[in-house]
Structure 1
Amino acid sequence: MTTARHLEIIDLLRARDFPPECGPSDVGSQGPGFHIAELNGHFGDGASADADREAEAEQRLAEQEGLLRGLTERWGEPDTFSLAGTRLRVERDEEVPEPWRRLGQQMGWLHLWRVDQRWIGVGLSAFQLLAVVTETDPP
């Protein structure tokens, strides 16, 4: 998928209303106050050769870098938000609102912009490039 398509998906999610219930969407998942897009799908099946996994990781990183450049041109430099504390709170069974609970379990860092009363974030999980649009403030 191209950077232009990633940007289109983020724009689409920014314009959508949030659903009343959690569930799948045409680009990932959604719920009250959030949309999460899986921008490049799942890579590998766990049985790939080391070289294949390395190439896939490099591809995800390149896609993220292109998307970050495009979003930075639009909205300026992002904040970099560590999800380590969120993950720790989840592990302690503390209350963490969605989508932060889910994101904290999937990735370590998120690049965040605050645009038109919504947070837009981009980050890498182990297998995917993800984008989030949410009205819920980070914990």
Structure 2
Amino acid sequence: MTTARHLATIDLLRSRPFPGQRGRSDVGDSGPGYHVAELSTSEDFWEDDGTRRTAVEEQYEAERDALAEVLGVRWGAPQVFSLWSLAQRSMDGEEIPEPWGVLSSHVPDVHLWRTGDRWTALGVSQWDKELPFQLLAVVTETDPP
């Protein structure tokens, strides 16, 4: 997918109302107060010695950073927000509001902007070392905890 297409998807999510309940959308997941778009997804790594995985991870981080630069022209420099502490708090039994709770289990950090009454975030996801990387865009009205 191209940067222009990623921007179009982000703009679409920012203009959409949030659904009343969690479910799949045409670009990812949505729920009360949030949309998560899967902008791009790599192949899996079941038969990889780690070399290809590292290269793909670097590629996805570079794509996130390039998209963040373009969004930075619109909204200013992003805040880089670590989700590690949210994952830890969740494991300690604290209920973390969505979309932050699920994101913290597979996205180490996000590039984050507050625009109007919504947050927009970009992150690189990987659920497990054999599974694909994903470039994610998040639009939410829920403040990061």
Bin for the TM-score computed over the shorter chain? over 0.9
Amino acid at match of 1:136: T
Secondary structure of 1:106's counterpart equals coil
Secondary structure of 1:105's counterpart equals coil
Do 2:45 and 2:53's aligned partners in 1 also have CA atoms closer than 8 Å? no
Q: TM-score, length-normalised on structure 1?
A: 0.93
Do 1:81 and 1:112's aligned partners in 2 also have CA atoms closer than 8 Å? yes
Q: Aligned ranges for residues 51-66 of structure 1 at < 5 Å?
A: 51-66=51-66
Unpaired runs of 5+ residues, structure 2, are 127-132
User: Match for residue 103 of structure 2?
Assistant: 103
C-alpha deviation, 1:49, in angstroms: 5.0
User: Match for residue 40 of structure 1?
Assistant: 40
User: Match for residue 31 of structure 1?
Assistant: 31
Q: CA RMSD in A?
A: 1.3
C-alpha deviation, 1:124, in angstroms: 1.0
Q: Identity over the aligned pairs, expressed in percent?
A: 51
Q: Structure 1 residue 82 and structure 2 residue 82: aligned?
A: yes
C-alpha deviation, 1:57, in angstroms: 1.9
C-alpha deviation, 1:108, in angstroms: 1.3
The aligned length equals: 139
Q: Structure 1 residue 130 and structure 2 residue 132: aligned?
A: no
C-alpha separation in 1, matches of 2:76 and 2:46: 37
Q: Deviations over 1:76-119 (max 9, x none)?
A: 00111111111011101211100000111111111110012100
Higher helix share: 1
Amino acid at match of 2:68: L
Do 1:43 and 1:128's aligned partners in 2 also have CA atoms closer than 8 Å? no
C-alpha separation in 1, matches of 2:141 and 2:105: 19
C-alpha deviation, 1:45, in angstroms: 4.0
Q: TM-score, length-normalised on structure 2?
A: 0.89
C-alpha separation in 1, matches of 2:48 and 2:2: 24
User: Match for residue 129 of structure 2?
Assistant: none
Amino acid at match of 1:130: L
C-alpha separation in 2, matches of 1:130 and 1:66: 13
C-alpha separation in 1, matches of 2:144 and 2:49: 37
Secondary structure of 1:40's counterpart equals strand
